[in-house]
Amino acid sequence: MVDDVHEKRPFISKLPMEKEDLLLFVNADVEPKTKYVDELTERVRSFSSRQPSAVVGIGGGSVMDLAKAVSLMLTNPGSSADYQGWDLVKHPAVYHVGLPTLAGTGAEVSRTAILTGPVRKLGINSDYTPFDQIILDPDLLEGAPADQRFYTAMDSYIHGAEALRGKFINEYSRAYAEKSMELCREVFLGELNEHVADEKLMIASYFGGLSIAYSQVGVCHALSYGLSYVLGARHGVGNCVIFSHLEEYYPVEVREFRTMVAKHRIPLPREMTKGLDDHQMSEMIRVALSLDPLWQNALGPDWKKIMTPEKARELYLRL
Ligand SMILES: NC(=O)c1ccc[n+]([C@@H]2O[C@H](COP(=O)([O-])OP(=O)(O)OC[C@H]3O[C@@H](n4cnc5c(N)ncnc54)[C@H](O)[C@@H]3O)[C@@H](O)[C@H]2O)c1
Ligand SMILES: [Fe+2]
């Protein structure tokens, strides 16, 4: 499964395709939906009566998550929407391999495949979700538009910030988060050539993913899920917009983030929540506040007393 943005790129002709291999170009114009996962799974099933020996995903976080989800759905009955949650998957997935072409989400290493379903945006979180194998090749990052490259890279910077400031932090997660953030600083505050920078970004993303694998994300990600669910905002850019308003929770990191935004002249959308009706706003708050582990990590076991629906609304209105 290859992101269709790469359809004309030279590496496509170098893929070692064999007879009976299926090359699926998949679309990431919008973030993955459960319906799309179910359709792709059906296409793989109808291609051959045999189970594939492997699923390979080549693309950004969206396509890697699609590949993870399809590999799970090939061995588990029903719709992918039935598995959005924690540890609902019963059977091991088909062997699956990931190759990122954008760096930052950590999807190459995480135990989740994030999907938007009929009721919520929530990952298929399970021990069977992580890739069996990954290939990190910085050359694949070539050609990403500067804004998209920045938004996705900041996902790993924010993973680091939320892990380090969270209650679930431990020495393992701290070590990876610190290194991940340091690499992001070298890339976006230093003066590196793009090739060296891409290699650093790839490891920043991987380490950011390793860090949250044993800790958790926080305020920015919880709000970001609500924003994506209601407005379809993409993860990277949505995170960046939210994070820039979260000085209250991540003071030093937000200031440093703003310096990186300014240095690279990255546009951040404004007034995203202006004009939302009451129903949309309550849906956004509902989705955000349903992410209990994220709030526990950010604010502790009594988080409901702190992050009330009114407070969440106030934060959303800042965007
Ligand atoms: N599983 C996880 O742990 C995890 C973590 C964070 C985010 N995510 C998910 O990842 C997605 C976001 O991923 P992302 O930020 O990597 O972006 P993406 O995969 O959504 O891609 C963004 C855009 O960039 C294009 N693109 C990808 N690689 C490119 C390249 N090399 N050159 C030019 N264009 C390229 C895509 O076609 C798309 O239009 C969201 O769906 C989010 O929910 C998953
Ligand atoms: Fe993220």
Query: How far does residue 183's CA lie from ligand 1's centre (Å)?
Result: 20
pLDDT of residue 122: 86
Report the Cα 283 to chain-centroid distance in Å.
Answer: 21
Question: Is the pLDDT score of 11 beyond 90?
Answer: yes
Ligand 1 atom, smallest distance to 29 CA: 39
Span from the CA of 18 to the centroid of ligand 2 (angstroms):
35
Q: What is residue 77's predicted lDDT score, i.e. its pLDDT?
A: 98
pLDDT of residue 98: 98
Pairing type for strands 112-116 and 2-3 reads unpaired
φ and ψ at residue 2, rounded to 5 degrees:
-120, 135
Rounded Cα–Cα distance for residues 273 and 278 (Å): 11
Q: Express each pLDDT in 36-89 by its tens digit.
A: 999 999 999 999 999 999 999 999 999 999 999 999 999 999 999 999 999 999
Considering every ligand atom shown, identify the ligand nearest to the alpha carbon of residue 109 and give its number: 1
Q: List, in order, residues 6 or more apart from 157 with CB less than 8 Å away.
A: 180, 181, 184, 204, 208, 253, 257, 260
pLDDT value of residue 136: 97
For the chain, give the mean pLDDT. 96
The mean pLDDT value for 12-16 works out to 94
C-alpha 187: how far from its chain's center?
Answer: 20
Q: Report the SS3 class of residue 123.
A: strand
pTM: 0.95
Distance 185 CA to ligand 1 centre (A): 21
Q: Model confidence over 134-187: pLDDT tens digits?
A: 999 999 999 899 999 999 999 999 999 999 999 999 999 999 999 999 999 999
Consecutive H or E run containing 55:
strand 55-59
CA distance 29 to 138: 22
Q: 251-263 vs 171-189: helix axis angle to the nearest 10?
A: 30
